[in-house]
Structures are given as structure tokens and as C-alpha cells.
């Protein structure tokens, strides 16, 4: 069975692209004292970001175009979901000890003082440098299994039964507990992005089956409500954590990006009409995420010095240095050299394009970004119109990469993301090959019967 061109909307792709445009607009208009003093530098930055976003739009549109053959679902999915949840639960205990020095059942105590939880994380990371290799390897090895639970659990929610749904809930709770123990926002943000991306896939499949109007509202209103509640929880936790780290925001008139001296005026007439918590939270979000555009501007000022394939990822650079003992490739990167401008890669972001440019330069980064966007669109169409489960996992990964574009190369920043991508691309290619073989057999049978 073939799903014809135009059967699946591109709304999810457009929403993510709109989010990216909004982050750059916030970077431009929010009252932050970005030290970009020359008009030409602003023009160059705006032109490059506009080019990149245009390429993302064109690439995603091209990748999502055309007819798509519908595939069979992954077999034994409920078993995979249960196995992933069990592994996630078992890993939570040693991982919590390794990163925080405390067991996960002390999560409620950590929740009362997220500032203290974050300080314990930093202390533990410093004290156990070089001692977490076994945990890192174990997490990376099991990541393809634990990762699939949320995207495929949400996408196939109506068919996995209560056992599969319980596995999804357990896996989500493990991520939330780990986030609370560390006092960090990454886990919560990843849950939201992957969950929404998977809900997009489910919505696309419903549209491909001909559901419209009230049918879609009746099916997805509860999911939208869950997303709003989760977003409200995440926003409140984000503000509370930043408040505790900075020692309170009630009497603050400015907020700064760490020790960079780059600050935002909370009393600016542009934003003073907002409630103080929202002013504070939005400003910290911009300084934490959208500030990557400033790192991009710093990098655009520098000459290209290639890192020969290792510069796109901190994980790849660390493996190269561990094997060769040579730090020179790392020192060639834009992200490392931005440290000379007090924009260290250890504390500040510089966008996905900058990390790609470490290896191929900024013109090459546009080409690579276009390829990523094309695959993102292709995986969307195969996940929704073709109902391919491996493509659904890869679409969630690619959506995560796109959402984090203003900050860094999030998916490939760590070993987990590399292993997830490698394994699921292999599964996807095998699944496509099996689909093509099945289609060829059906064609031969049709000719013989004729």
C-alpha cells in the first residue's frame, strides 16, 4: 500500500522552523547587551542565520515530498518497551550515585533544594573525573533500547496495551528523577521535545488514515492537555532552579550569562509589562539557549582551521585525544578558539552550525545542515505516511537536533547520541531493505498470477 503525495501535512516541520525563527528574533530584540558593535557584523550574522533557516526549510520540504510505501510495524514492540523501562530503572541507581553521590530515592529531598543538588553534581563531577567510564559506557551501550521507549510508546500508544503504557511511565519517571537528582534541565527538555515529536508522528498517521476535524480533536485534546501541564511544570522548575543558583531574583534588575559580563535589563520598558517570574525565566532561557547565536557571531569572525572530522562533537574530540594524546584538533575548532573572547565552550553555546563548521567551514556547514534537514523531512514522511517505527525514532532524534540548533550539536555531543543514531539508522536501513524486498516479491507474485 502506498500513501500518495500530499496525504501527510508538514505542520510539525513548520512549527519547529517557526520556533527556530522565534529564538533568533528573541536574540535580536530582547534587551541583552550583546557586545556586537559593528553594523556589518550584525548584517553578516543575520544573513547567515537566515540562509541556514531557509536551507532547513527547503531541505525538510524536499525530504518530506513524494509517495511513501506503508511498512509493517516493529514486532514484539511491547517486549522492547518493557525491556527498555527495566534497563532505565536499573541504571538509575548506579547512575545517580556516579553523578550525584546520592541514591535516587532521595529525590524528594533534592527537589526541595535544586540549587544544592546542582552544586553537589558539580562537586561530584570534579571528584570523580576519569572514574565514570564504566557508567558512561553502560549508558551508551543501552541507550538505543532505553531511548525507543518514549517515541514508540507515544506513537503506538493505542496499540501497546497497559503493559507498554506502564513501561513508558516508568521510563519518563526515571528521567525526571535523574533530572531532580542532578538539578539540571536537560532531561526535562529532552522529554518534552521527544514526547511532542512522537505525538506529531501519531497525529501524522491519523491524518494519513483520513482522520480530520473533530476526530483529531477528540483523539488529541488529552495529549495537548498533558503537554501543557508538563510544560507548566518544566517552566516552574526551570525558574526555581535558576532562582536558587543566582540567590533570588526578586530584587534583581539585571541577569547575566554566567561571568561573561553580558547582561539583560529586567527593567527595560520593552519587557517590564511582563510578570517578574516570566521576565526572569524568559531572559534566562535566552541567555542559556539563544546565546549560541553570539557564539556563532564570534566564530564567523575567525579564519577556518579544519578539525578533520572530529570537531563536530565533544565526544568525538575526547575519543581522538584519548587515542592519540593530541589536543591540536580540539584547539583548531571555532568553539575552542571562542574562549579567547571569553566565550568558553565549557560554559557557553555556539549553535549547531558552529560545531559543524569546525570540520567543514561555514559554507560547508550550510550543506551539511541541508542534508540533516532533508533526512529530517524524509524520516517525518516515512514515520507518519509510511508508519515506519524506525523512522519515528529517527524523526524524534532529528527533531531534537533541530530544536537545539541555537545552542549546540545536542544529539552528537555525547556517546549516547552517537550510539542511538548509529543503531537506529542501521535498523531503519534494514527495515527499508526488508520493505523493498517484500514489495519486489509482491510484484513478482502479481506478474505470475497474471
pLDDT at 352 over 90: yes
The 10 Å Cβ neighbour count of residue 427 is: 18
Question: Stretch 318-333: mean pLDDT, rounded?
Answer: 94
Q: Report the C-alpha gap between 197 and 379 in whole angstroms.
A: 12
Range of lowest pLDDT (10-14, 68-72, 191-195, 262-266): 68-72
Band of residue 373 on the pLDDT scale cut at 50, 70, 90: very high
Q: Report the C-alpha gap between 203 and 8 in whole angstroms.
A: 9
List the grid coordinates of 282: 524568559
For the chain, give the mean pLDDT.
90
pLDDT at 259 over 80: yes
Q: What is the DSSP string of 149-193?
A: HHHHHHHTGGGSHHHHHHHHHHHHHHHHHHHHHHT-SHHHHHHHH
Angle at CA 213, nearest 5°, toward 74 and 234? 65
What DSSP designation does 32 have? B
Length of the chain: 450
Q: Report the C-alpha gap between 328 and 397 in whole angstroms.
A: 30
Alpha helical stretches, state H, 183-313: 186-208, 214-246, 276-285, 292-300
Candidates 153, 150, 66, 72; CA nearest to 378 is 66
User: For residue 30, what are the CA distances in angstroms to 22, 277, 295?
Assistant: 11, 16, 17
**Residue 14 contacts residue 399 (beta carbons within 8 Å):** no
- Residues whose CB falls within 8 Å of the CB of residue 178, separated by 6 or more in sequence, listed in order: 92, 95, 96, 104, 187
Question: Stretch 77-85: mean pLDDT, rounded?
Answer: 96
Check residue 194 and give its pLDDT: 97
pLDDT at 136 over 80: yes
**Residue 59 contacts residue 123 (beta carbons within 8 Å):** no
This prediction has a pTM of 0.92
What DSSP designation does 386 have? S
Amino acid at each position: 500500500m502506498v500513501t500518495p503525495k500530499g496525504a501527510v501535512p508538514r505542520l510539525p516541520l513548520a512549527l519547529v522552523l517557526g520556533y527556530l525563527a522565534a529564538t533568533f528574533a528573541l536574540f535580536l530584540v530582547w534587551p541583552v547587551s550583546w557586545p556586537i558593535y559593528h553594523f556589518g557584523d550584525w548584517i553578516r550574522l543575520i544573513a547567515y542565520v537566515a540562509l541556514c533557516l531557509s536551507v532547513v526549510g527547503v531541505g525538510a520540504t524536499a525530504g518530506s515530498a513524494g509517495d511513501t510505501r506503508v511498512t509493517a510495524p516493529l514486532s514484539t514492540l511491547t517486549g522492547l518497551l518493557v525491556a527498555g523501562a527495566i534497563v532505565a530503572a536499573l541504571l538509575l541507581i548506579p547512575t545517580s550515585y556516579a553523578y550525584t553521590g546520592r541514591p535516587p530515592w532521595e529525590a524528594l529531598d533534592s527537589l526541595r533544594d535544586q540549587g544544592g543538588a546542582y552544586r553537589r553534581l558539580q562537586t561530584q563531577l570534579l571528584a570523580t573525573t576519569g572514574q565514570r567510564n564504566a557508567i558512561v559506557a553502560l549508558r551508551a551501550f543501552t541507550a538505543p533500547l532505553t531511548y525507543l521507549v518514549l517515541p514508540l510508546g507515544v506513537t503506538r500508544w493505542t496499540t501497546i496495551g497497559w503493559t507498554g503504557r506502564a513501561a513508558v511511565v516508568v521510563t519518563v519517571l526515571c528521567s525526571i528523577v535523574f533530572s531532580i537528582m542532578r538539578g539540571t534541565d536537560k532531561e526535562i527538555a529532552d522529554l518534552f521535545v521527544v514526547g511532542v515529536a512522537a505525538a506529531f508522528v501519531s497525529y501524522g498517521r491519523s491524518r494519513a488514515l483520513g482522520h480530520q476535524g473533530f476526530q483529531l480533536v477528540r483523539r488529541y485534546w488529552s495529549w495537548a492537555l498533558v503537554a501543557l501541564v508538563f510544560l507548566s511544570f518544566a517552566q516552574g522548575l526551570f525558574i526555581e532552579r535558576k532562582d536558587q543558583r543566582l540567590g533570588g531574583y526578586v530584587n534583581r534588575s539585571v541577569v547575566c550569562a554566567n561571568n561573561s559580563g553580558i547582561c539583560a535589563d529586567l527593567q527595560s520598558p520593552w519587557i517590564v509589562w511582563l510578570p517578574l517570574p516570566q521576565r526572569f525565566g524568559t531572559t534566562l532561557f535566552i541567555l542559556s539557549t539563544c546565546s549560541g547565536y553570539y557564539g556563532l557571531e564570534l566564530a564567523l569572525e575567525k579564519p577556518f582551521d579544519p578539525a578533520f572530522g572530529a570537531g563536530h562533537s565533544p565526544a568525538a574530540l575526547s575519543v581522538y585525544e584519548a587515542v592519540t594524546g593530541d589536543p591540536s584538533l580540539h584547539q583548531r575548532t571555532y568553539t575552542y578558539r571562542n574562549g579567547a573572547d571569553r566565550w568558553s565552550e565549557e560554559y557557553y553555546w555556539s549553535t549547531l552550525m558552529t560545531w559543524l563548521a569546525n570540520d567543514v567551514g561555514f559554507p560547508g556547514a550550510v550543506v551539511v545542515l541541508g542534508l540533516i534537514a532533508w533526512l529530517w523531512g524524509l524520516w517525518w514522511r516515512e514515520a507518519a505516511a509510511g508508519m515506519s517505527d524506525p523512522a519515528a525514532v529517527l524523526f524524534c532524534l532529528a527533531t531534537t537536533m533541530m530544536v537545539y540548533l541555537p545552542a549546540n550539536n545536542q544529539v552528537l555531543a555525547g556517546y549516547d547520541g552517537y550510539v542511538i543514531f548509529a543503531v537506529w539508522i542501521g535498523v531503519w536501513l534494514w527495515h527499508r531493505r526488508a520493505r523493498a524486498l517484500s514489495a519486489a516479491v509482491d510484484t513478482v507474485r502479481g506478474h505470475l498470477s497474471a
